[in-house]
Structure 1
């Protein structure tokens, strides 16, 4: 008689059925630099804009921000993870000294092939852009207090950032409550290039307040709807 190897069966679950295979861990959303690098200007957003009804969640807040970006013509953005929430970064745009954007296609001349590119790549593109002023807007939703680092982002720092922001907010973050401790702010990064041989430098502070940046870009009005 041939000895057959014993069949090893997985232990039954508590309800008598075989255990299901464990699901793989979800992809981790890339982290935005924390605390954020020094910015040119900022503005706090009204809670009612992002949490107009209960139950308020980070996912609903993110959807309101996406809708505002769409209404204002910012059709590309990237999600990043921050402590207690998320960051949503815009595509780099060329602006006038009063913070109003150039009309397309000049508005996006810093990144004419921006679709699918990461926040790192978009910031780095500023250092190869024609002379002028450029702006990146980063919405930060968090329940953590923060103060910007003393130094603004430079080309060297930007190249060290982990590229590849998420196209959407992961369900694990979207399902979290937008609690009473959560708040939203817009961080404005304004860069200036004086000539094609000079790296772009952040203007800190900007000549224009953060709210005006949002108004000129159409975002303040879109959020307030």
Structure 2
């Protein structure tokens, strides 16, 4: 078993130690200690063949339990076939929806609209399904555009401002990013950035449909002549 701090003398030195251990003892359990649990750490851990990383400060009991768990499953974890982002979104649809709802309820503007959770989030799973379908080769259909337009009309009836629709879409991107962070060791890194750009582009296209309907439906203010 090898447990190394990520930063021994210089930043990232721990990965050098892990890499050397991988060559000398390929069946060893390799763990990295880090005080900075950022996505970059997880990506580097994936590249360097780290079994897991521990967040400092870690309790001794937690470290021992993690070592035992890794050793019981075998010193080296089975190879994980990298997945495209669309596969992760499809599998984690429920997580993304609930994460979006959590973020929306924390938002100072969106939380001003008193809606049941079901009404607030009901468009998110549908939007994710459409985004994944388009990603996998489908085209945006008239039905997809109609559903997006209906969402815009519904939001204006619920008292939304146009800027809040944009905020909703931004929070969806944040929820997808959180999902990526949680599943980064399973994602095909070489295609992650273009996949993110494509998925976010689809979300943007559907947002434009919602906004167009919203602005057409918006009650016009009358200007009083003095």
**Is the TM-score greater than 0.5?**
no
Question: How does the TM-score come out when normalised to structure 1?
Answer: 0.26
The structure whose residues are more often strand, as a share, is: 1
The structure whose residues are more often helix, as a share, is: 2
Higher RCO (CA 8 Å, separation ≥ 6 residues): 1
Question: How does the TM-score come out when normalised to structure 2?
Answer: 0.26
